[in-house]
Amino acid sequence: MSSNSNGTGANTPESQLESVLPIHPTAARRGNPIVVQSDLTSYSNDYITSKFTNRGADVAVVEGQYIVTPTAKQYEFQTARKVAKTGLMMVGWGGNNGSTLSATILANRHNIIWHTKEGVQQPNYIGSLLRASTVRLGADPSTAKDIHVPISDVLPMVHPNDLVLGGWDISGARLDEAMKRAKVLNYDLQRQVAPYMAELGKPLPSIYYPDFIAANQEARADNVVPGTDKQAHLEHLRADIRRFKAQHALDRVIVFWTANTERYSDIIPGVNDTADNLLSAIKASHPEVSPSTLFAVAAILEGEPFINGAPQNTFVPGVIALAERTRSFIGGDDLKSGQTKLKSVFAEFLVNAGIKPLSIASYNHLGNNDGHNLSAEPQFKSKEISKSSVVDDMVAANALLFKPPQEDAPKGTKAAKGEHPDHIVVIKYVPAVGDSKRAIDEYYSEIFCGGRSTINIFNECEDSLLATPLILDLAILAELLTRIKYRAVPSSGAGAGAVKGAGEFAPLYPVLSLLSYMLKAPLVKPGTDVVNSLNRQRNALETFLKACVGLEGSSDLLLETRIW
């Protein structure tokens, strides 16, 4: 057994357990097993083309009566079958999420098996919506049993093992050192994956503006792009993306913010309210241009998707306008992994059951660097905002329980917002618990005839092990959505220009709201309502993926089981 003399882990002995167990089903490779035989779906060597009818209803209220007119619009989707060779450049690569994601991809790639106190553990992608959950395709006619397939099999998608990893960090620690510092993964896994992590090297220097993150992060900031010229910083980041793409012969690069939560940026007319104003503000090195906004602009100008995994308002109006102008994809905000995901399910359950939540009190404490940064008030406010809005659409959907907003009420008053449960969020930094976050929620509700119900939930989870599969899902979906185009199909007898979108296939709208399932505060097309309901978010994604192969969305009607 050789000794580890240089401290890098590069000559750590190979595991005697490596490759003993078969590859976990969530990490297995499966070709393209789904073929739809239908007039609505066609296959070529390059594309899957499908026809889809988007059904809805227009509703008018006339003297208290609801007049409903069903609508149906025809679309075609075209999905490129060739999966792009994809790089994932993470901002905050050396943090808990970035180092954990890198180590677990490498463990899966090399099928590294390790010991825990419970026994032998194999790598997997449990926690990934795409790799570890399924959708119902239909039923086997001979048995009437449902047939389910992994979501990742519905359309050709990047396998996580194939992602080329890179990124930036204000800390210059090598990735093997960063993994050790994070204290997330079991020691035996760290020991075995360290040589592969060491080969990744250290992150690229990142952008550090002390005003945007907590002062307690300054000690980590030893790997920063020098100077204060934000235009020069923008060009530096663009060059980094181009170099990484060329160096690894990539077709696509996903830029992903998994760094510290920033304070909110002030929205200032003439500074960040339009694309041109924002670009001018960058040239002027305006103090309200945040690092995350700079990374977003760099990715947009390079034509690469940018995903914001933190709660700050990276996507100021000027960023959205720039993405629209360049047709570059953006998505965010804030990874939804534990307490908020559960809240979006539980609040919907209560309201849909006809129970009226009067208050929701959420408390959590954690001891990782994310918790350390959030212990500063400006950064906590960003997180509080993203966590607090999660029940809004569910409350607004039930005017029987909650009084709707009054149109003539003064702006900013409770009447103008409408009735809403009291909702508070508390986050505390407790170093001793490390990455093991504790979350406590109390739901206090009104029930039948003035009764009251109190439900308390305690949730303990390893924060980074819940968050990192979401990064994979978001990156993989972002790549897929760059390969999907659509066009509207004119109604019978209408001219080619009679329907918006008719003609050539066009890319989707730049704001990728289909990513909402993984995000606390989903970014949506300006002027449209945010959907926080987890069930609706998943159903939307599932329906869209099925539409791209010419299948209808999920139906739990099961009419054949309810008639003779």
Spatial separation of the C-alpha atoms in residues 224 and 264, rounded to whole Å: 21
- Higher pLDDT, residue 324 or 418: 324
Res. 495 pLDDT band, cuts 50 70 90: very low
Mean pLDDT of 8-30: 67
| 236 pLDDT higher than 90 | yes
pLDDT of residue 3: 39
What's the DSSP call for residue 511? B
- Higher pLDDT, residue 369 or 131: 131
CB 139 within 8 A of CB 149: no
Q: Note if the pTM is more than 0.85.
A: yes
Classify residue 400 by burial, with Cβ atoms within 10 Å: 0-12, 13-18, 19+. exposed
Res. 304 pLDDT band, cuts 50 70 90: very high
Residues forming a β-bridge with 515: none
Mean pLDDT of 189-214: 95
Spatial separation of the C-alpha atoms in residues 334 and 313, rounded to whole Å: 10
Which uninterrupted H or E stretch holds 474?
Answer: helix 463-482
Which uninterrupted H or E stretch holds 69?
Answer: strand 65-80
pLDDT of residue 387: 60
pLDDT of residue 412: 74
Residue 19's contacts (CB-CB under 8 Å, 6 or more residues apart) are: 111, 113
CB 88 within 8 A of CB 166: yes
| 164 pLDDT higher than 70 | yes
Sheet of strand 422-429: strand arrangement:
422-429, 356-366, 436-446, 452-462
CB 252 within 8 A of CB 85: yes
Calculate the alpha carbon distances from 73 to 52, 53, 174, 502 in Å. Answer: 8, 6, 53, 11
- Higher pLDDT, residue 346 or 21: 346
Q: Taking the CB of residue 118, how many other CB atoms lie within 10 A of it? A: 6
* Sign, Cα dihedral of 319, 322, 324, 327: negative
Res. 496 pLDDT band, cuts 50 70 90: very low
| 18 pLDDT higher than 60 | no
3-class DSSP string for 409-465: CCCCCHHHHCCCCEEEEEEEECHHHCCEEEEEEEEEEECHHHCEEEEEEEEEEEHHH
pLDDT of residue 378: 61
pLDDT of residue 385: 63
pLDDT of residue 62: 95
* Per-residue buried b or exposed e for 512-533, using 16+ beta carbons within 10 Å of the residue's own CB: bbbbbbbbbbbbeeeeeeebbb
Backbone angles phi, psi at 436, to 5 degrees: -90, 95
Spatial separation of the C-alpha atoms in residues 346 and 338, rounded to whole Å: 12
Which uninterrupted H or E stretch holds 99?
Answer: helix 96-109
| 112 pLDDT higher than 90 | yes
pLDDT of residue 327: 97
Per-residue pLDDT of 448-491, as tens digits, reads 999 999 999 998 888 889 999 999 999 999 999 999 999 999 87
Mean pLDDT of 309-322: 95
Q: Taking the CB of residue 437, how many other CB atoms lie within 10 A of it? A: 25
The single residue listed with the structure tokens 């970014």 is: 523
pLDDT of residue 459: 87
Backbone angles phi, psi at 489, to 5 degrees: -100, 120
Share the mean pLDDT of the chain. Answer: 89
Per-residue pLDDT of 70-85, as tens digits, reads 999 999 999 999 999 9
Q: How many CA atoms lie within 13 A of 363 on its CB side?
A: 7
Strands annotated E in 259-406: 306-308, 330-332, 356-366
Task: List active site positions.
Answer: 334, 383, 437, 520
Strand, helix or coil at 164?
strand
Spatial separation of the C-alpha atoms in residues 133 and 149, rounded to whole Å: 8
pLDDT of residue 373: 67
Spatial separation of the C-alpha atoms in residues 177 and 405, rounded to whole Å: 53
pLDDT of residue 371: 66
| 86 pLDDT higher than 80 | yes
| 517 pLDDT higher than 90 | yes
pLDDT of residue 288: 95
| 322 pLDDT higher than 90 | yes
Greatest mean pLDDT range, 31-40, 114-123, 160-169, 431-440: 160-169
Per-residue pLDDT of 387-396, as tens digits, reads 667 888 888 8
